[in-house]
């Protein structure tokens, strides 16, 4: 990573401690906010269960790039390459229309009040709770960014080929611990991923021309059928054995050599992360507790920059009052 990027990470960490986020931020200005978000997420669950897993991932992909500011949601413009087509997001992130639906509902009851950045935080929490995971109180009060950066996303977001050592270093730069890393990786308890992300594991791990030796043989056979060499690499497979239920099955699968992504399975093979995988595979309560702590810490990531409350999460307001972020 470049020295400039390292300075940016220091800036985002320092700013996180000062941003004035708090629970019940909209209790007076938009008391219906959290209920409206939950209502739309329930409808999305009925319509397409997989969409909740997609929305939940928005928090990670947004907050790690310039803080939690909904820059992820901005469409490209003639003068700005946004983050939707960044390497970690293109053909991977989906269900942006669910956020659009939430925003539309909120604009009807509280126009110009609830930020898209806060919608991501609330919707991510609801995605977990509505699929069987923990529920928690979220801190709110973020502003939406005035721009986005594909380059910034490409410089930060990890590849599905990443190993635990790289991930530990990356998360550490955001003041997230090894325990946070493993717990937050449990977001893969729900959802699917593309064959594209595992072809190297199946057929050429580390340039050997052979599959990853840590695969459970029966699981590898299943994946070979799902993702043969001539497959359309946009075909998807389940990230764990219970892909629509948020539980600790993901960690049980890692212990058994049934992790889908290299970045998942490496958490069990790497000594520094293995103990947490084993703990969470045995104790779902401990996983849920650690996951909530990690999501709250990740949600605190902020940078000092001008912002606004967008009326459409995909575009900046055409005429907007520019509001500086307030720090303690």
Residue 27 near residue 33, CB atoms below 8 Å: no
Choose the catalytic residue: 24, 39, 61, 188.
61
Residue 198 near residue 262, CB atoms below 8 Å: yes
Return the structure tokens found at 121: 């935080």
Return the structure tokens found at 301: 């990531």
Three-class HEC string of the chain: CCHHHHHHHHHHHHHHCCECCECCCCCCCCCCHHHHHHHHHHHHHHHCCHHHHHHHHHHHHHHCCCCCCCHHHCCCECCECCCCCCCCCCCCCCCHHHHHHHHHHHHHHCCCCCCHHHHHHHHHHHHHHHCCCCCCCCCECCCECCCCCHHHHHHHCCCCCCCHHHHHHHHHCCCCCHHHHHHHHHHHHCCEEEHHHCHHHHHCHHHCCCCCCCCCHHHHHHHHHHCCCCCCCCCEEECCCCCCCCCCHHHHHHHCCCCCCHHHHHHHHCHHHHHHHHHHHHCHHHHHHHHHHHHHHHHCCCCCCEEECCCECCECCCCCCCEECCEC
For tokens 């702590």, the residue is 293
Judge whether 61 counts as a catalytic residue. yes
Other beta carbons within 10 Å of 233: 14
Active site positions, annotated: 61
């Amino acid at each position: 990573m470049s020295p400039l990027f390292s300075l940016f990470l220091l800036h985002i960490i320092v700013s996180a401690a000062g941003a004035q986020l708090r629970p019940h931020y909209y209790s007076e200005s938009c008391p219906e906010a959290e209920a409206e978000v939950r209502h739309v997420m329930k409808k999305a669950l009925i319509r397409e269960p997989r969409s909740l897993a997609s929305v939940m991932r928005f928090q990670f992909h947004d907050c790690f790039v310039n803080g939690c500011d909904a820059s992820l949601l901005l469409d490209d413009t003639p003068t700005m390459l946004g983050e939707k087509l960044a390497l970690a997001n293109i053909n991977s992130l989906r269900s942006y229309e669910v956020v659009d639906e939430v925003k539309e509902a909120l604009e009807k009851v509280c126009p110009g009040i609830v930020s898209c950045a806060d919608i991501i935080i609330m919707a991510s929490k609801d995605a977990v709770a509505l699929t069987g995971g923990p529920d928690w109180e979220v801190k709110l009060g973020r502003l939406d960014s005035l721009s986005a950066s594909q380059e910034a996303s490409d410089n930060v977001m990890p590849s599905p080929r990443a190993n635990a050592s790289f991930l530990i270093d990356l998360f550490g730069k955001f003041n997230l611990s090894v325990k946070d890393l493993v717990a937050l990786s449990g977001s893969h308890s729900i959802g699917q991923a593309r064959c594209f992300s595992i072809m190297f594991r199946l057929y050429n791990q580390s340039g050997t021309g052979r599959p990853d030796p840590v695969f459970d043989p029966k699981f590898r056979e299943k994946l070979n059928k799902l993702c043969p060499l001539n497959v359309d690499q946009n075909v998807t497979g389940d990230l764990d054995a219970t892909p629509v239920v948020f539980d600790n099955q993901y960690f049980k699968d890692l212990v058994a050599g049934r992790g889908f992504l290299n970045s998942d399975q490496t958490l069990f093979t790497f000594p520094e992360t293995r103990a947490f995988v084993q703990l969470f595979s045995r104790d779902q309560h401990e996983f849920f507790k650690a996951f909530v702590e990690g999501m709250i810490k990740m949600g605190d990531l902020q940078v000092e920059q001008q912002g606004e409350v967008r009326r459409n999460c995909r575009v900046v307001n055409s005429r907007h009052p520019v509001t500086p972020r307030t720090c303690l």
